[in-house]
Structure 1
Amino acid sequence: MTTIAAALKRIDAGHAETRPQQTVRKTQRYRLTDRFTADELAQLVARYRAGEMSTALAREHGIAKSTFLRLLSEHGVRARPRGLTPAKENEILRLRRQGMVIREIAKRVGCSYDTARLFLLAEA
């Protein structure tokens, strides 16, 4: 009660503290149609078709990978198949026979370390 009484005395005496003004927060636009222009969407689609990873593109633009893939499908782009293609599998085996370590193989082939490692384990 003493805190309330002290506050009331300050108010009566004209020494009331004003509230600090709240800073204006920049709000994030949630609808994809608001976040990207038609040109930006066309560039995203072109970059994905050129071979860039969907995870990297989604992260760059601050959206989830699933949202990015949905955006692609809405624009008629089919998602690339997950996993290793037969060509990548052959390349992994060839590089491993040459004595290259898994991390370097994964970088060269364009897959994750675990994908390359699990494939080599399955082949062994």
Structure 2
Amino acid sequence: MKSKLEIYALSICFAAVVCLVISLGIGSYSLIQVNSPDLTMKSYKFNQFQTNKDYWSKHKPRCGDNYNKVEKPEEDELTKQRLMAFEAVKRGEAREGVQSLIKSTLFIIFSTLALFIHWTIAKRCRKS
């Protein structure tokens, strides 16, 4: 017959394993997000930077006194602006990946610690 302490310890072990599996999945996705941010970027955001036409339609001034006075830049200048903006968005996506990876790493560390401690408790309960 299992004691209440052993049942408690094994329950915590189960919860820790569930947390580990979830954290490993999220951490794996975060690694992809850091290494290839244009792959994990939302399609809506990604598509805004694929052509100058798409970029200008999403990023031209939309309000204020100068709304009607703003002219579309030359193609070369617009391409330069679009590529610079795309790089900035990719850096932001990669930064989100790093933040998520840090969170996942902390969950993995604490879940592993909880698993180890409670597995040891369960083994001691089983011996006695």
Query: TM-score with structure 2 length normalisation?
Result: 0.25
Larger RCO of the pair (alpha carbons < 8 Å, separation 6+): 2
Which has a greater percent of helix?
2
Return the index of the structure with the highest Cα Rg: 1
